[in-house]
Amino acid sequence: MNRVLFIGAHPDDIELGCAGTIYKYSNMGWTIGALILAEGSSSRYDDPITSRQLIDKDKKDRKESCKRSLTNLGVSSFKFHDLPCSKLDTVPMLTINKMIEAEIREFNPEVVFTHSQVDTNKDHKLVFESTKIATRPSAFPQIRSIYCYEVLSSTECSYSDVFKPNYFVSLSREHLEKKIESLKFYETEMKKFPNSRSAEGVEVLAKFRGIQINKNYAESFETLRSCA
C-alpha cells in the first residue's frame, strides 16, 4: 500500500498547503502520516513566563484542533514534538534531522511533502532544510518523491524568492470543501476575507492553481526530488 508522510512546522501548516491532496489520497486508499515539529503557540505571547498557563492551554487546544482536522481528512498517524514556536533556529539542526529520520523509519513512506524553502517563516525554512538532509537517497532509498507545499500568509509574502510550482494535484469541489471544513477546526486561525487565511482565500488560491492546469481547482507543489 502506498504511504505518504506530510511534515509541518506547526499545527495547520499541512492543512493549509495540502488538505485537498491529503483527502484525495485518503480516498484513493493511501496510508497517510503527519509529523508536526513545533507547537505553534508560545510565540504569540510577550512574556512566556507570566503567560505560562495561557500558553499551555493554547498549545493543548491547538494540538487537539490539529488532531481533529487531520482525522477529518483521513490521516491515520500523527506525531507532535512540541519544539518552541518561531525558535527552531535555537534547536540544533541535528536534533530536528533525527526527529524526521525517526519518523521516516517508523512510518516508511514512499512520498514526502514538506515546506518550501522560499517561505517567509523561518521555522518553515528550517523544516525544509532538515527534511532535505533527512531524506537523502543514501539513507532512505525507498522515498521516490519529495514535494514542497505553499502555506497561505507565508509563502505568497516572499516577493523576491517566489514559489515556483511544477507539480499539481487537481481537486474536486468536494476536496476543496473538505479542506475548508478541516481548517475551520482552528477557530483562532481562520480570518475574514481579504486575509489569505480565509475560506475565500483558500478557494481563490485553489481556483488559481486549477487555472494553471485547466482544472477547476488544484493544489500546487515544488518538486524537490522525483524518481520513476
213-222 residue pLDDT tens: 999 999 999 9
Q: Rounded mean pLDDT of the chain? A: 93
Element holding 81 (H helix, E strand):
strand 77-83
DSSP 128: H
72-107 residue pLDDT tens: 999 999 999 999 988 999 999 999 999 999 999 999
Distance CA 193, CA 221 (A): 24
Residue 68 scores a pLDDT above 80: yes
> What domains are defined for the chain?
3-170+221-226 (3.40.50.10320)
Maximal C-alpha separation, the chain: 53
Element holding 184 (H helix, E strand):
none
Find all residues with CB under 8 Å of 63, minimum gap 6, and list them: 11, 39, 80
Could you tell me if 211 and 200 are in contact, meaning their C-beta atoms sit under 8 angstroms apart?
no
Query: Is the pTM higher than 0.85?
Result: yes
Distance CA 169, CA 218 (A): 5
169-204 residue pLDDT tens: 999 999 999 999 999 999 877 888 898 999 999 999
| Residue type at 209 in one-letter notation | R
Residue 146 scores a pLDDT above 90: yes
49 — pLDDT class (breaks 50, 70, 90): low
- Please give the C-alpha separations between residue 109 and each of 58, 73, 77, 113, in angstroms, as whole numbers: 31, 18, 12, 10
Q: Tell me which of 175 and 157 has the higher pLDDT.
A: 175
User: What local confidence, expressed as pLDDT, does residue 190 receive?
Assistant: 82
Find all residues with CB under 8 Å of 92, minimum gap 6, and list them: none
All three cell numbers of 49: 513566563
165 — pLDDT class (breaks 50, 70, 90): very high
Could you tell me if 62 and 15 are in contact, meaning their C-beta atoms sit under 8 angstroms apart?
no
Residue 51 scores a pLDDT above 80: no
CA dihedral for 176, 177, 183, 187, sign (positive or negative): positive
